[in-house]
Amino acid sequence: MNFKNLNLINPIIRAVTETGYSKPTEIQCNAVPPILEGRDVVGSAQSGTGKTAAFVMPILQLLKRHTPEHKEIRILILTPTSELAIQLEENLGIYSKYLPLSQLSVYEGIPIGSQLAALRKRVDILVATPGRLLDLQNQRHIDLSKIEILVLDKADKMLNMGFINDVKNVVKLLPQKRQNLFFSTTMPGSVRHFAGTILNNPVEVIVSPVSSTAQTAKQAVCFVEKEKKTDVQADALQKKNIRSLVFTRTKHVANKLVQQP
Ligand code: AMP
């Protein structure tokens, strides 16, 4: 499978290829086709699986396919934190490098004034944290009535952080007819229920978590008496020249391990 097989257009393939990616990841193979067909998608995938590009590439293409004369925002991506909003805006910038589309992110932590100025220009895709979006909407600075695609990123985190009502209030402001993409790292019952209130006959895309251990890493278990533990650890770290990150339960143990001769 390559990016062309996914029916992605050349400007997107060019941008992706320039990042150094030679082929789509599993979630990209599974999520891009239904998104391009206009279907709602619920995706469960961890960070590191290429999940962001899995929805960013097709939504850019959908936007490009029909670009009516407009000034309104057409895609809304909701994400729980400012850091994630920044990352998403960066990703949008990378994949839309060869497309005449504009994106903006609004989130807490930067003065609302600068965001208002940016919102006066044309914005095709808005990335937002729910709280800041509602602030701007309450002050009548944002028109969400022409949104064609809603993306919920990290939905489980959104729920855990208590944003469920904010998200519901945002959804009420959107047109009834729209495409919904819902991504979550985990899919417990509460998240599934939440997805059910937003999505319409979705295609479900689940990918297995990325392996957390590199194939070249050797693993071993070593049973030792409690009092010998620090010695054994220090010995293993020094003698075997192991590059490692050691987690300890207390600061005290961390200090002891570092000070071990
Ligand atoms: P994400 O799952 O969105 O957190 O992405 C994890 C990482 O995978 C990011 O650094 C992406 O730049 C990278 N990535 C996205 N698509 C691909 C791909 N097709 N091949 C290799 N890496 C990718």
Q: Is the pLDDT of residue 140 over 70?
A: yes
| pLDDT value of position 245 | 76
Q: Is 211 helix (H, G, I), strand (E, B) or coil?
A: coil
Q: If you average pLDDT over residues 9-38, what whole number do you get?
A: 95
Strands (E), 86-245: 103-106, 125-128, 149-152, 179-184, 203-206
**pLDDT at residue 212 above 60?**
no
Displacement of CA 47 from its chain's centroid (Å): 7
Residue 101's identity, in one-letter code, is L
pLDDT at 231 over 60: yes
Provide the 3-class DSSP secondary structure of residue 47: coil
21 lines ligand 1 (CB under 6 A): yes
Range list for CATH 3.40.50.300 in the chain:
3-206
Rounded Cα gap, residues 52 and 60, in angstroms = 12
Ligand 1 pocket test, pick from 3, 47, 52, 83 with the greatest ligand atom count within 8 Å of Cβ, gives 52
Judged by average pLDDT, the poorest of 55-69, 175-189, 211-225 is: 211-225
pLDDT category at 68 given cuts 50, 70, 90 is low
Buried b (16+ CB within 10 A) or exposed e, 233-243: bbeeeeeeeee
φ and ψ of 204, to 5 deg: -100, 130
Ligand 1 pocket residue status of 119, Cβ below 6 Å: no
Atom 21 of ligand 1: nearest residue by CA position: 21
Beta-bridge partners for 42: 182, 204
Confirm if 152 and 198 have CB atoms less than 8 A apart.
yes
* pLDDT on residue 214: 62
- Report the separation in Å between the CA atom of 215 and the middle of ligand 1, taken as the mean of its atom positions: 18
- pLDDT for 211 equals 52
pLDDT(210) > 60:
no
Ligand 1 centroid vs 29 CA: distance in angstroms? 13
Give the pLDDT mean for 15-43: 95
**Rounded mean pLDDT, 79-104:** 95
Question: What pLDDT, on the 0 to 100 scale, is given for residue 229?
Answer: 81
3-state secondary structure of 102: coil
227: pLDDT strictly greater than 90: no
Q: Which atom of ligand 1 is nearest to the CA of 3?
A: 19
Amino acid at 92: L
pTM score, two decimals?
0.81
pLDDT tens, position by position, 159-183: 999 999 999 999 999 999 999 999 9
Q: What is the mean pLDDT of residues 129-146?
A: 92
Q: State if residue 48 touches ligand 1 by the CB under 6 angstroms criterion.
A: yes
Report whether pLDDT(125) > 90: yes
How far is ligand 1, taken at its centre, from the CA of residue 31, in Å?
A: 14
Tokens read off for 76 = 């809304």
Percent of the chain residues topping a pLDDT of 70:
92
What is the average pLDDT across 126-140?
93
Q: How far is CA 188 from CA 89, 192, 193, in A?
A: 28, 6, 9
Mean pLDDT of the chain: 89
pLDDT by residue (tens digit) across 27-39? Answer: 999 999 999 999 9
Q: Which CATH number fits domain 3-206: 3.40.50.1000, 3.40.50.300, 3.40.50.620, 3.30.1490.20?
A: 3.40.50.300
Judge whether 224 and 232 are in contact, CB under 8 Å: yes
- Residue in this structure with the two tokens 């809304």, named with its chain if needed: 76
How many angstroms separate the CA atoms of 226 and 223, rounded? 9
Nearest atom in ligand 1 to the alpha carbon of residue 46 is 2
Least confident residue range of 37-41, 68-72, 87-91, 139-143: 68-72
Distance of CA 19 from the midpoint of ligand 1 (Å): 10
Q: Distance between CA atoms of 136 and 115, rounded to whole angstroms?
A: 9
Sign (positive or negative) of CA dihedral 50, 56, 59, 60: negative
Q: Which of 24-33, 38-47, 92-101, 212-221 has the lowest mean pLDDT?
A: 212-221
Highest mean pLDDT among 32-36, 63-67, 211-215: 32-36
Q: Is the CB of 51 under 6 A from ligand 1?
A: yes
